[in-house]
Chain A
């Protein structure tokens, strides 16, 4: 037993980790589910029983961020379209939903609010997309315009104080309610109920994204990313294809924002800012874009680390994130999931 053999066995163990993470089990019509998920899921369900209320509340936020990250992964990881203003759509959805919930008191407000949270960003995306994709605007310019758009949205939210509360934000925001006429009108409040609702939402989100990615539309999206001119010679309208994935992604981002508003109870213009966009980009890049699970992993992991580095070091943390981003780009462009899959 010497140093050499020890390091060798550690190496063998380490290299088997990626293979283990690939292992999966079939569950009939729902597809395959990885071994890792099977292990993690019970943990996720038991989580609120193991930790205090504060941590659970934190996790609620992180789960919503994971959904936000998934929406970006669809657009960027699968569609190859880089948006530098995705937080704009997330925040737009949050404000749309919040405003509906605050001003509309009836039953079913939640459904209306979430619908608004999806439709408003989707409409903006459609407008932008129509203009930019039909104009054959290149990837770089598109990125710039999304950046400027989200900045403008940020400014607008700050300026129109009567609607949005300006820099002070909106507070309090009525909670989510599940309303089934005749049966019940259930408010979702409290850390644990919120946690489980968001967990379910995340799972549904993920399944929806996966179904989309594997559909004909998802295939088209990946083909566009791969070789967009070729796609036209098979009869596809390229601009429409891009508009569709952009709208879908922004609608999902808006939905995540729409969940955020009542779940957290307070929103501010920061949700639309550059910092937020940077964060979601980092989550997806770190986790591995184009993998879906990478988006969830990145969102959870990065936010957890950020939390542990606590408030004092927020500036330092942001610096580290920036360096992270630079390092990822130069050294490991595939992210964690990408690395594991190789």
Chain B
């Protein structure tokens, strides 16, 4: 009987920094088309997991599989080309470039050099640009320098950039970090829209946000999976409550 295709799978993935084990023999899997949330206290290993998946870090042991292909140890640009896109925790964009140029750079990441040099003006892409800008609510600012955007707008810009890169697996690291209430609400709709037809993993702290968008939730604690399931199930889990209420368990 065929299991639904695992887009991302880690096998006994471990990352150790000196004495600290950030990710501990983690077996994490995400199915095609899921919108999965990854939550946990600070230091649980969530961002480290992202780093391991995207090639920013090499694991101490264990493997990462993307669509059945072993991507352990590949470099970030290779992994990106295979279809994994990442949004970083704090807005990681090109401050000095305009909003549109930011997206253009992101979009052309997978084309070869000759393509870059010869094509100044890509008709098809330029046609797709306005709708993309509108979907991230930045159409009016398209010619503004990225550094002049607000924090929340920069977060949206980065999301747009990652989208323009056409990933099939989208990793969002705290997309609403530093956002106002209004911006957070906007982002809910934004993420719902963009995650249609794509596999998405979102790291988040804001439980209200998680409630709005999540189907399945994974709770990490000290580099391991503490619980996994729908949010209401996970919320009722004893161990999860202990961890969140501060009662340490070994």
Contacts and interface: CB of A to CB of B under 8 A. Distances in A.
B102 to A, nearest CB: 8
Most chain B CB inside 10 Å of its own CB: which residue of A216, A220, A225, A227: A216
Most chain A CB inside 10 Å of its own CB: which residue of B95, B108, B115: B108
A299 to B, nearest CB: 24
A319 B94 CA distance: 38
A214 B120 contact: yes
Interface stretch (A99-107, A154-162, A198-206, A232-240): A232-240
Contacts, number: 80
Contact of B106 (A234, A237, A238, A244): A234
A216 B76 contact: no
Interface residues of B, number: 33
B168 interface: no
Given A227-B94, A227-B95, A230-B92, A237 B116 contact: no
A233 B105 contact: no
B205 interface: no
Contacts of B118: 215
Given A216-B104, A219-B97, A233 B54 contact: yes
B165 interface: yes
Nearest to B161: A234
Contact of B77 (A216, A223, A226, A235): A235
Interface in B91-105: 92-97, 101, 104-105
Contact of A216 (B54, B94, B96, B120): B120
Contacts of A232: 75-77, 80
A236 B119 contact: no
A12 to B, nearest CB: 27
B96 A233 contact: no
B17 interface: no
Interface in A292-338: none
Nearest to A225: B96
Contacts of B92: 227, 230
Contacts of B104: 216, 219
B105 A234 contact: yes
Interface in A174-224: 211-212, 214-217, 219-220, 222-223
B94 A222 contact: yes
A240 B113 contact: yes
B117 interface: yes
A234 B119 contact: no
Most chain A CB inside 10 Å of its own CB: which residue of B54, B76, B85, B122: B76
A219 B75 CA distance: 22
B101 A219 contact: yes
Nearest to A290: B96
A188 to B, nearest CB: 30
A216 B117 contact: yes
Nearest to B75: A232
Contacts of A234: 77, 80, 105-106, 109-110, 161, 165
Contacts of A220: 105, 108, 116
A143 interface: no
B36 interface: no
A217 B116 contact: yes
A216 B119 contact: yes
Given A220-B108, A235-B110, A230 B165 contact: no
A236 B116 CA distance: 11
B94 A230 contact: yes
Interface string B70-93: 000001110011000110100011
Contacts of A230: 88, 92-94
A235 B109 contact: yes
Contacts of A217: 113, 116-117
Nearest to A244: B113
B117 to A, nearest CB: 5
A267 B150 CA distance: 55
Nearest to A211: B120
B113 A235 contact: no
A58 interface: no
Interface string B208-223: 0000000000000000
Given A233-B54, A234-B161, A238-B77, A226 B110 contact: no
Contacts of B96: 222, 225-226
A216 B93 CA distance: 17
Interface of B: 54, 75-77, 80-81, 85-86, 88, 92-97, 101, 104-106, 108-111, 113, 115-120, 122, 161, 165
What 3 A-B pairs come out closest when comparing CB atoms?
A234-B109, A235-B109, A216-B116
6 contacts: A211-B120, A215-B116, A222-B94, A227-B94, A230-B94, A233-B86
Given A214-B120, A230-B94, 13 more contacts: A216-B115, A217-B117, A219-B105, A222-B97, A223-B97, A226-B95, A226-B97, A227-B92, A227-B94, A230-B88, A232-B77, A236-B77, A238-B77
